């Protein structure tokens, strides 16, 4: 069967989920998976080319806080606030990325620069407590009727499910566009040897800036969507080191080099976190988070290709295996 037909069937099946009469909790889990699946896909678009960022929480925080502050303080609709937040994140990515790529600050050093960026944004949010609520966070001002397309707020979880589904599909489409573009080959070549890539006419700095700014803009959109859904944000949940590392771990667990790997990572990490929280979280405080971290570390060590990568590798080995000799 053609891949397009299979894709259409899959999308139709996902769109029909709210019609099955699921409870609010299950719809909440699905919406959360779609939002984080999009955020993780945003990181993998860049991370798969060796550009490891440990500070994507900065862009997530900008999306959540800029959109919320413009709405709470000025009544500016998220439809306008989100593009403004995306422009802010792209400017930040340009400001940080250009000197790094121009002077070939790559590998561990680039990861440390992005880690510092995430902390700068988090500390800025905490420091501007009069406008952001500081460490206590802030609540998105709700509309009186509870549902407003202008405010991007919906009482019905099913409606927000479709919004998250559209955004998630857009993320997969962008991943595929990048995967089939010349930009992919330019970035793969530069990740192997920048001098060799430049010698054949590749503008390495520009290629890396384009993919960094695209990833930053997408992550910002994910942060704004998360804020509009949760209606509450604080620095630790949208901009801290913990959330940046969560993004990296989830993508690696799901599969960095496959289109659906980040979404599989979102499903895996969410189910793992929920299971541990329900079964252990109330007995010993912090035990669920400790086990969660240990399992992820072991997962990364023994399954570096992630869930989808390991499955695909196993299928390839089965296809390549010679048939058993006939008796």
What's the pTM value of the predicted model, to 2 decimals?
Answer: 0.92
- Name residue 138's beta-bridge partners: 233
State which of 12-26, 85-99, 144-158, 236-250 shows the largest mean pLDDT.
85-99
Which residue has 């299928």 as its token pair?
Answer: 315
User: DSSP for 188-229?
Assistant: HHHHH-HHHHHHTT--HHHHHHHHHHHHHHHHHHHHHHHHHH
State which of 87-96, 228-237, 279-288 shows the largest mean pLDDT.
87-96
- pLDDT band at residue 76 under the 50/70/90 scheme: very high
Q: Are the beta carbons of 139 and 153 closer than 8 angstroms? A: no
Distance CA 21, CA 44 (A): 33
For 119-170, how does the pLDDT look when each residue is reduced to its tens digit (9 = 90+)? 999 999 999 999 999 989 999 998 888 788 999 999 888 999 999 999 999 9
> For the chain, where are the alpha helices, taking DSSP H only?
3-15, 24-47, 57-74, 78-102, 108-127, 129-132, 157-179, 182-192, 194-199, 204-230, 235-238, 241-254, 261-279, 287-302, 306-320
C-alpha distance from residue 98 to each of 109, 204, 217 (Å): 14, 11, 16
- pLDDT band at residue 313 under the 50/70/90 scheme: confident
Distance CA 307, CA 139 (A): 36
Phi, psi for residue 106 in degrees, rounded to 5: -125, 180
Structure tokens at 230: 């949760």
For 192-201, how does the pLDDT look when each residue is reduced to its tens digit (9 = 90+)? 888 888 888 8
């Amino acid at each position: 069967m053609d891949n397009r037909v299979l894709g259409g069937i899959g999308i139709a099946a996902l769109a029909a989920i709210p019609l099955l009469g699921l409870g609010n909790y299950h719809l909440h889990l699905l919406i959360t998976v779609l939002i984080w699946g999009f955020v993780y896909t945003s990181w993998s678009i860049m991370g798969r080319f060796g550009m490891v960022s440990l500070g994507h929480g900065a862009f997530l925080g900008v999306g959540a806080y800029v959109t919320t502050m413009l709405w709470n303080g000025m009544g500016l609709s998220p439809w306008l606030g989100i593009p403004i937040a995306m422009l802010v994140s792209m400017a930040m990515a340009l400001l940080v990325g250009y000197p790094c790529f121009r002077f070939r600050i790559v590998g561990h050093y680039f990861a440390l620069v992005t880690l510092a960026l995430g902390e700068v944004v988090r500390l800025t949010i905490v420091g501007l407590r009069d406008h952001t609520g500081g460490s206590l966070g802030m609540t998105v001002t709700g509309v009186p009727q509870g549902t407003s397309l202008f405010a991007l707020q919906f009482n019905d979880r099913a409606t927000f499910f479709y919004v998250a589904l559209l955004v998630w599909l857009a993320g997969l489409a962008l991943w595929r566009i990048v995967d089939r573009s010349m930009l992919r080959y330019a970035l793969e070549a530069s990740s192997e040897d920048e001098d060799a890539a430049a010698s054949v006419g590749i503008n390495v700095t520009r290629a890396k800036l384009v993919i960094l700014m695209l990833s930053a803009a997408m992550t910002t959109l994910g942060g704004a969507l998360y804020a509009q859904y949760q209606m509450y944000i604080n620095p630790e949940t949208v901009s801290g080191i913990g959330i940046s590392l969560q993004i990296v771990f989830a993508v690696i667990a799901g599969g960095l080099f496959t289109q659906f790997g980040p979404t599989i990572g979102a499903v895996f990490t969410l189910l793992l976190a929920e299971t541990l929280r329900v079964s252990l979280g109330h007995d010993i405080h912090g035990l669920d988070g400790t086990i969660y971290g240990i399992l992820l570390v072991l997962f990364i060590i023994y399954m570096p290709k992630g869930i989808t990568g390991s499955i695909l590798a196993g299928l390839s080995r089965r296809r390549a295996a010679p048939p058993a000799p006939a008796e």
